[in-house]
Amino acid sequence: MRKICVVVTARPSYSRIKTALRAIQEHPDLELQLVVAASALLDRYGTAVNYIEKDGFKIDARVYMVLEGENPASMAKTTGLGMLELATVFDNLKPDVVVTVADRFETLATAVAASYMNIPVAHIQGGEVTGSIDEKVRHAVTKLADLHLVSTRCAAERVEKMGEERRKVFVTGCPSIDLAAEISDDPALNFNPFERYGGVGDLHELTNGYLVVMQHPVTTEHEMARRHVQETLEAVYEINMPTLWFWPNVDAGSDGTSNGIRTFREQHRPENIHFFKNMEPTDFLRLLYSSKALIGNSSVGIRECSYLGVPVVNIGTRQAGRERGANVIDVGYRKSEIVAAIQKQTSNGRMRSDTLYGSGKAGERIAGVLAESPLQIEKRLTY
């Protein structure tokens, strides 16, 4: 029985790995060890751990490692603290493989700790190009990893060009697309988001259309985070369509983004915007599917929305260089650009589904690869 230790460190990381957790748990040759850490444990970022437990997963360890500050220094110190704490967890659990997801600073802490303890590292979503420091982290984790479970063919080719062996690179697709595929047969908004999740702001009638906004700070532009979100707030306020706005993540600049939102809310009392901390992954996807468009800079616009055919207005540099479908319009931070793009995307209507990031079987494929020896299997380039 191979012990697979998966480390979930943030709200989006759970949706990126949920179906793989389920598949690992159900695989006869694998034992799931689940570690929940960092902002996934914190109420101010939506307490993702509650949804993890509600879905029936047993948590083997919790790692509190986030230092207050939401600035570059606190990110660096959180990474260091994470290495210390995770090393202890790995020493106690003694996993055969550690799985880490994507490109966050907590991902780097996970990979470094496991590597120095001679525990093989499996990296999900390597080989992609993005803006800010995330790309550096992603590629650094690639070099620390022993097994590469990538989302696209292009990502696989990039990992190989970085010197990784072809037989250790697997195109599995992205597990978040599995969740999108699960709801695609019956995607209707079958719950009231205000009753189920509360939030702050006026309640809206959503049947005539609404926007969803998820805008995070960009770590290399963290000092401008407040100004950036201000432009988006003013654009959405001018459009005056019911809008469901989600709180930013824990990266450097988060305080600037949060303060910008609070100040705007106090000064303008926007009747068309309602603010949420978090939602269960499938509820969030249903909300996205029924929306007129997603606004902001979250990778959900690039990944899940491409599969669901949801129009996206992608703002700024955070997703620069990432493969994307025809559902995305890229704009700068100016209010006028954002307004024009929202108007265009909401008039376009639903887009054609794009399987660039997978077709809905990534979790099963990841579990299958983890159950086999990397030295005995070759790369598969089909979904």
Is pLDDT at 266 greater than 60 in this prediction?
A: yes
Least confident of 96-105, 244-253, 328-337: 244-253
Residue 377 has pLDDT above 70, yes or no: no
For the record, the structure tokens of 357 come out as 């990031």
CB 346 within 8 A of CB 163: no
User: Does residue 77 carry a pLDDT above 70?
Assistant: yes
- Tokens coding 251: 């990266």
The strand pair at 273-276 and 200-201 is best described as antiparallel
Span 82-110, pLDDT tens digits: 999 999 999 999 999 999 999 988 999 99
Place of tokens 């654009």: 235
Q: Residue 376 above 50 pLDDT?
A: no
Which pLDDT band holds residue 225 (cuts at 50, 70, 90)? very high
Interatomic CA distance for residues 217 and 298, integer angstroms:
10
pTM value is 0.90
Strand residues in 210-358 grouped as ranges (E): 211-214, 243-246, 273-276, 293-296, 312-315, 328-331
pLDDT at 224 over 70: yes
Mean pLDDT on 296-319: 96
Phi-psi category of residue 296: left, alpha or beta, with phi > 0 → left and psi -120 to 50 → alpha? left
Q: Residue 382: what pLDDT?
A: 43
Determine how many CB atoms are found less than 10 A away from the CB of residue 53. Answer: 12
Q: pLDDT tens-digit profile of 116-148?
A: 999 999 999 999 998 778 899 999 999 999 999
Q: Would you say 74 and 252 are in contact if contact means Cβ atoms under 8 Å apart?
A: yes
Q: What is the pLDDT of residues 33-66, one digit of tens each?
A: 999 999 999 987 778 999 999 999 999 999 999 9
Could you tell me which residue, 45 or 208, shows the higher pLDDT? Answer: 208
pLDDT for 375 beyond 80: no
Structure confidence at residue 373 (pLDDT): 65
Domains of the chain in start order, with CATH, are 2-173+361-376 (3.40.50.2000), 183-348 (3.40.50.2000)
Q: In 3D, which of 288, 39, 290 has the Cα closest to residue 299?
A: 288
In the β-sheet with 312-315, what is the strand arrangement from edge to edge?
200-201, 273-276, 243-246, 211-214, 293-296, 312-315, 328-331
Q: Is the pLDDT of residue 161 over 80?
A: yes
What is the per-residue pLDDT across 342-374, written as a single tens digit (0 to 9) for each? 999 999 999 999 999 999 999 999 999 999 865
Backbone Cα Rg of the chain: 20
State the angle between helix axes of 105-116 and 134-144 in degrees (0 to 180), rounded to the nearest 10: 20
pLDDT at position 374, please?
Answer: 58
